[in-house]
């Protein structure tokens, strides 16, 4: 008997599938199913177990959908720009292009070993000019429409990577990549105005079939806050301070104001203060936002000025303190120590008055040990005492706004997306700075300039026809704090496309998250020459039906891609505005109870196991380990178990093939098979791979113990069920059973309802026509047996004691009536 040799059959089928172009999707067919995974970054670490866990099970799902009759599109590509390749170049001198291409070649081979249904004819590589040309096109669309803006702003800056970082790339005050402490640096940078879309990004979440946790993270990230701006006049000046508060109801309890150091420097430095204030401002600007927000010890200085509380004309001191951030709200706050924890700490430290104005609803004599931040009843609030704080919140804003002293306002925590990077290995920003055009715009010329050019005077768009702006090959990577592209004079010096004057190119490149914000559109027509994507295909194939990837992308990539899709929708390029209808996050695979890491020495290298047990066993073990969204702990022994199971599937087929005797029909096995179809179909719809595999194992055990009763039809069905999980093995055995077409051209088995149910009926038991009890039993139970069972019921026995049964009336499936003498 031939033995199961995964390596032989897997490479054979991978080759045959490719020759047959089995997985090249004809995008004109329906019904469509777009199955997407987060494309890999071609790092030197190659494909690790996390990738496998993302890609293997997702492919199982895609194969299932294909067999259900969907025209499944499952593309793959490479997110190929980014810092690691450049950092590697700095260290070793190997050009990022070279190391990236090498990594891609290697990873492509690894990906092929998964044996997934990737349509390789649609591969994309974001660092290739035929892709980044369209990333640049995308930039220009945002620019032209006033959604890209150059702003001077405080940016997160990593002194070691010598580049700015997006908020999302800062983890607990440290650089996500190199773990150095991030500082704040004021720089001119390019931003995409994602904040214009804050409300829509928030409200659309309702429509999405996404994990609740991810939606909540996005909600939190967008951070909508409804409150009011209240004006406080500065005493003895004719200036005002505007504060943003979400608790206008606590206004009577405001005992001081705090302005952020930056705001004071920018807007109030004309007010003469002591040198202490200036010193404090200088010091705090060195701190990171993280230190400022989360340090235990709050600090601040009194400015010497007072403000007047607009509700009661109370004189309250104005402080500068760095726990107030410059770029949220108005950069200034009214402080209510009785009801805000931070203010409470600060007030205690600097002996500022604490006035309680809200008391808990049921207490009489309030005493305050710490800030009370719940709603309650107003006290110490003049004629509003006794009112609920919720009602007063509305009332006080209405009252003050009549006098022009307040207005309702909503702020969002979401910041504009900082997309420029002072690095080499990225898509060049397609803009040119022309001093001559800058001058013309300043002099009032508006004609011939786009919205973006007027918004950013002097910055001229590279004409779309002239794209791509090619990344020059020869550059000096050594970090100088300046973009490496500035060192290439042929790149830098150019002519203005508008007026022909000498001009210089933008030397910053784009954040790689721009590349990945639209790749799912390009997959549909990656070779298209004159357009970024085919509008008809996009409208047909989007939204993506299932997107699977790591939960760590909950905020960055998954917000950016939504934003860019909305922008393209609004500019009329595509019909959809939400890219991913259903989202799923795979869990994590640990080893020896801990996250895998090189330093711990517990990394499981997929290639070793794939070589030994085959890709089918590897993928199936990953799926068997635990619920897909949780993951599990790797065990070398566990994969052996799955490997043995696949061996038994193999052996069963060999035995059935060799069986020459007549097969006796086994109703139990047949029924179990139909129950298996039902269970696996339901489990697969919900990505419950582990329980589906357990069910597959159960049927196999039953069949294995009754080999003489397994007929070929049953095996055909069983192979179809196992095909999405162990595609190579199933295809091989399918052919061994005499089929000549791929099993993946077969349709998914249906179960017969009648077969699976051991149907139950409920029979009413009557004594002399009165209902006394009931009985549930299999519908096939014989009448005599029902009679006997009914008589043994304790409730019925009560009535039967010492009585004789005259007659039994039986209505099958419904009722049995004992008539007594
Ligand atoms: C007075 C007050 C009384 C406040 C009270 C809270 C409780 P969220 O929900 O996060 O939007 N705040 C406003 N701008 C700030 C800034 N730039 N830096 C630091 N804190 C700032 O929080 C809004 C509240 O955070 C505002 O409401 C303000 O303090 C503070 F019992 O105003 B509150
Ligand atoms: Zn010009």
Instruction: Write the pLDDT tens digit of every residue in 126-153.
Output: 999 999 999 999 999 999 999 999 998 7
Binned at pLDDT 50, 70 and 90, residue 758 comes out as low
Measured between alpha carbons, how far is 606 from 637 in angstroms, rounded to an integer? Answer: 15
Measured between alpha carbons, how far is 122 from 89 in angstroms, rounded to an integer? Answer: 29
Structural domain includes residue 394: yes
Task: State residue 662's pLDDT score.
Answer: 83
Q: Are residues 647 and 747 in the same domain?
A: yes
CA 560 to chain centre: 10
Q: Which residue has the tokens 């339901």?
A: 682
Q: Are residues 713 and 804 in the same domain?
A: no
Task: State residue 481's pLDDT score.
Answer: 67
pLDDT score of 168 more than 70: no
Q: Are residues 263 and 402 in the same domain?
A: yes
Q: How far does residue 443's CA lie from ligand 2's centre (Å)?
A: 14
Structural domain includes residue 147: no
Q: DSSP labels for 143-193?
A: HHTT-EEEEEEEEEEETTTTEEE-GGGEETTEETTT-PBPEEEEEEEEEE-
CB of residue 247 inside a 6 A radius of ligand 1: yes
Q: Are residues 354 and 252 in the same domain?
A: yes
Q: How far does residue 203's CA lie from ligand 2's centre (Å)?
A: 42
Tell me the average pLDDT across 762-776: 91
Tell me the average pLDDT across 496-501: 97
Q: What is the mean pLDDT of the chain?
A: 93
Tell me the average pLDDT across 61-70: 98
**Burial degree of 590 (CB within 10 A; 0-12, 13-18, 19+):** middle
Structural domain includes residue 382: yes
In the chain, the largest separation of any two C-alpha atoms, in whole Å, equals: 118
pLDDT score of 365 more than 70: no
Q: Are residues 241 and 388 in the same domain?
A: yes
pLDDT score of 762 more than 90: no
Number of domains in the chain: 3
Looking at the CA of 433, which ligand is closest? 2
Report pLDDT digits (tens) over 589-637: 999 999 998 888 899 999 999 999 999 999 999 999 999 999 999 999 9
Tell me the average pLDDT across 719-734: 98
Task: State residue 759's pLDDT score.
Answer: 67
Domain final residue pick, 412, 430, 464:
412
Global pTM value:
0.88
Report pLDDT digits (tens) over 257-276: 999 999 999 899 899 888 99
Looking at the CA of 336, which ligand is closest? 1
Q: Are residues 662 and 803 in the same domain?
A: no
User: Percentage of the chain with pLDDT > 70?
Assistant: 99
Q: Are residues 713 and 772 in the same domain?
A: no
Residue nearest to atom 33 of ligand 1 (CA): 245
- Report the CATH number at residue 804: 3.10.20.590
Task: State residue 363's pLDDT score.
Answer: 74
pLDDT score of 364 more than 70: no
If you count them, how many residues does the chain have?
A: 821
Structural domain includes residue 254: yes
pLDDT score of 92 more than 80: yes
Structural domain includes residue 128: no
Task: State residue 721's pLDDT score.
Answer: 98
User: Percentage of the chain with pLDDT > 90?
Assistant: 79
Q: Are residues 717 and 796 in the same domain?
A: no
Q: Are residues 810 and 737 in the same domain?
A: no
Measured between alpha carbons, how far is 509 from 169 in angstroms, rounded to an integer? Answer: 17
Task: State residue 128's pLDDT score.
Answer: 98
Structural domain includes residue 143: no
Domain final residue pick, 754, 774, 804:
754
Residues with CB under 5 A from ligand 2 (ion): 434, 436-437, 496, 498-499, 501
Q: Are residues 241 and 318 in the same domain?
A: yes
- Report the CATH number at residue 388: 3.90.740.10
**Ligand 1 closest atom vs CA 339:** 31
Range of the domain at 348: 224-412
Tell me the average pLDDT across 48-58: 96
Q: Are residues 287 and 362 in the same domain?
A: yes
Give the chain's radius of gyration (CA, Å): 35
- Report the CATH number at residue 719: 1.10.730.10
Q: Are residues 662 and 792 in the same domain?
A: no
Residue 792 has, within 13 A of its CA and on its CB side, a CA count of: 6
Looking at the CA of 256, which ligand is closest? 1
Domain final residue pick, 389, 412, 435:
412
Report pLDDT digits (tens) over 777-816: 877 788 888 888 898 888 898 888 888 889 999 988 889 9
Task: State residue 45's pLDDT score.
Answer: 84
CA distances from 741 to 536, 653, 728, 738 (A): 32, 18, 14, 9
- What are the tokens at 393? 């919140």
pLDDT score of 228 more than 90: yes
Q: Which residue has the higher pLDDT, 789 or 696?
A: 696
Q: How far does residue 496's CA lie from ligand 2's centre (Å)?
A: 5
Structural domain includes residue 316: yes
Structural domain includes residue 93: no
Pocket test for ligand 1, best of 323, 328, 379 (most atoms within 8 A of CB): 328
Tell me the average pLDDT across 293-317: 92
Q: How far does residue 436's CA lie from ligand 2's centre (Å)?
A: 5
């Amino acid at each position: 008997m031939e033995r199961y040799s995964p390596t032989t059959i897997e490479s054979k089928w991978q080759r045959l599938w490719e020759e047959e172009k089995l997985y090249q999707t004809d995008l004109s067919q329906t019904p469509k199913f777009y199955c997407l995974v987060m494309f890999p970054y071609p790092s030197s670490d190659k494909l690790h177990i996390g990738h496998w866990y993302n890609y293997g099970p997702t492919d199982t799902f895609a194969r299932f959908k294909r067999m259900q009759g969907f025209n499944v599109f499952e593309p793959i590509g490479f997110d190929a720009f980014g810092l690691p390749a450049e950092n590697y170049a700095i260290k070793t001198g190997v050009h990022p292009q070279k190391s990236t291409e090498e990594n891609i070649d290697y990873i492509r081979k690894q990906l092929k070993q998964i044996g997934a249904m990737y349509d390789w004819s649609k591969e994309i590589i974001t660092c290739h000019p035929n892709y980044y040309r369209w990333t640049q096109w995308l930039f220009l669309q945002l620019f032209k429409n006033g959604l890209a803006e150059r702003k001077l702003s405080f940016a997160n800056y990593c002194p070691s990577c010598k580049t700015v970082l997006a908020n999302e790339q800062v983890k607990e005050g440290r650089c996500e990549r190199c773990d150095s402490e991030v500082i704040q640096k004021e720089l001119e940078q390019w931003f995409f105005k994602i904040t214009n879309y804050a409300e829509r990004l928030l409200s659309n979440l309702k429509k999405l079939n996404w994990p609740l946790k991810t939606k909540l993270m996005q909600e939190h990230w967008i951070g909508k806050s409804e409150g009011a701006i209240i004006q406080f006049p500065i005493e003895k000046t004719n200036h005002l301070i505007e504060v943003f508060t979400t608790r206008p109801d606590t206004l009577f309890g405001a005992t001081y104001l705090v302005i952020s150091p930056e705001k004071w420097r920018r807007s109030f430095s004309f007010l003469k203060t002591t040198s202490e204030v200036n010193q404090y401002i200088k010091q705090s600007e060195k701190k990171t936002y993280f230190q400022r927000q989360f340090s235990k010890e709050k600090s601040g200085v009194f400015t010497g000025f007072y403000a007047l509380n607009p509700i009661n004309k109370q004189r309250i001191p104005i402080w500068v303190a760095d726990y107030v951030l410059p770029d949220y709200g108005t950069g200034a706050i009214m402080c209510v120590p009785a009801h805000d924890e931070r203010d409470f700490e600060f007030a205690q430290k600097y002996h500022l008055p604490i006035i309680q104005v809200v008391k808990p609803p049921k207490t009489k004599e309030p005493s305050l040990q710490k800030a009370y931040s719940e709603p309650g009843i107003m006290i110490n609030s003049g004629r509003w005492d006794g009112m609920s704080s919720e009602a007063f919140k509305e009332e006080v804003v209405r009252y003050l706004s009549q006098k022009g002293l307040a207005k309702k306002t909503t702020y969002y925590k979401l910041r504009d997306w900082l997309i420029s990077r002072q690095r080499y290995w990225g898509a060049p920003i397609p803009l040119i700075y022309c001093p001559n055009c800058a001058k013309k715009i300043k002099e009032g010329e508006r004609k011939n300039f786009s919205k973006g050019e007027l918004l950013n005077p002097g910055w001229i768009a590279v004409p779309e026809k002239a794209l791509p702006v090619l990344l020059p090959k020869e550059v000096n990577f050594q970090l100088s704090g300046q973009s490496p592209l500035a060192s290439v004079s042929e790149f830098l010096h150019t002519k203005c496309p508008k007026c022909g004057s000498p001009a210089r190119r933008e030397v910053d490149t784009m954040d790689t998250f721009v590349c990945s914000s639209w790749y799912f559109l390009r997959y549909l027509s990656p070779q298209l020459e004159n357009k970024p994507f085919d509008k008809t295909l996009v409208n047909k194939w989007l939204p993506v039906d299932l997107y699977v990837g790591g939960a760590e992308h909950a905020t960055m990539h998954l917000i950016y891609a939504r934003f860019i899709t909305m922008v393209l929708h609004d500019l009329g390029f595509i019909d959809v505005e939400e890219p991913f209808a259903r989202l799923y996050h795979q869990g994590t695979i640990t080893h020896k109870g801990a996250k895998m890491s090189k330093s711990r020495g517990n990394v499981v290298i997929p290639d070793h196991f794939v070589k030994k047990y085959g890709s089918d066993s590897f993928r199936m073990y990953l799926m068997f380990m635990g619920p897909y969204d949780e993951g599990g702990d790797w065990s070398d022994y566990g994969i052996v178990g799955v490997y043995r199971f696949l061996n038994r599937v193999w052996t069963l087929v060999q035995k059935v093939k060799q069986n020459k005797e007549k097969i006796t029909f086994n109703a139990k096995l047949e029924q179990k098979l139909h129950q298996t179809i039902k269970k696996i179909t339901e489990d697969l719809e919900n990505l419950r791979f582990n329980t589906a595999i357990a069910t597959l194992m159960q049927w196999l055990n039953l069949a294995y113990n009754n080999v003489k009763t397994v007929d070929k039809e049953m095996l055909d069905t069983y192979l179809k069920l196992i095909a999405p999980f162990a595609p190579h093995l199933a295809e091989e055995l399918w052919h061994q059973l005499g089929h000549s077409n791929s099993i993946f051209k077969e349709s998914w088995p249906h179960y017969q309802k009648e077969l699976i149910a051991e149907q139950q009926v409920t029979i009413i038991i009557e004594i002399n026509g009165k209902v006394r009890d009931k009985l549930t039993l299999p519908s096939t139970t014989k009448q005599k047996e029902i009679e006997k069972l009914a008589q043994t019921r304790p409730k019925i026995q009560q009535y039967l004691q010492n009585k004789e049964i005259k007659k039994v009336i039986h209505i099958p499936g419904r009722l049995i009536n004992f008539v007594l003498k």
